[in-house]
Structure 1
Amino acid sequence: MISYDPLWTTMEKRGVTKYQLIYHWGISSNTLRRIGHGEAISSHTLNELCLILDCSVQDILQFNASEEELASISRRKEEIEHFRSRKRKK
């Protein structure tokens, strides 16, 4: 799961508010809503935020895999490996 928690800390450190992002920098309020709800944003928006805040991607988001996500990926990897091994036997 992607978390945007670092963004709020970075904004505070840089003295940038949501208001400024919207009205001074042209970041849409819908984009900030999406970020606030942990939803996806475009790489273009991510790039813009990095430029505005003079920071790196790690200062805006972080990846935290849940146990459920890790288990799901593990099952998928097993299925792929099973499929590949069956193809090799043919």
Structure 2
Amino acid sequence: MITFDNLWATMEKKGMSTYRLRETCDVDNKTIRRLRANENVETKTLDKLCQALSCRLEDIAEYKPSDQTY
């Protein structure tokens, strides 16, 4: 499972609000909701977030193994 817990910590560290993130990255409320719920987002969105926050992918997303098998 991919989680975005690191995103919120990075945003706080850099003083970025969700409002400012939406304006800077041109992402909508639906995408913010999906990030909060650790749901799927497009890689271009991750790229926008990394650019806006001047960070690396691991600063916003993390893989956590789940018990579910595929």
5+ residue gaps in structure 2?
none
Identity of aligned residues (%): 36
5+ residue gaps in structure 1?
74-90
Question: How far apart, CA to CA, are the structure 1 residues paired with 2:17 and 2:26?
Answer: 13
Please state which structure has a larger fraction of its residues in helix. 1
Aligned residues: 70
TM-score (norm 1): 0.72
Correspondence for 1:41 = 41
1:5-34, CA deviations, whole angstroms, 9 ceiling, x for partnerless residues? 000000011110001012343221110000
TM-score (norm 2): 0.91
Bigger relative contact order, structure 1 or 2 (CA pairs below 8 A, ≥6 apart): 2
1:44-67, CA deviations, whole angstroms, 9 ceiling, x for partnerless residues? 00000000000000000000002x
RMSD between aligned alpha carbons? 1.2
Moved over 3 A (4+): none
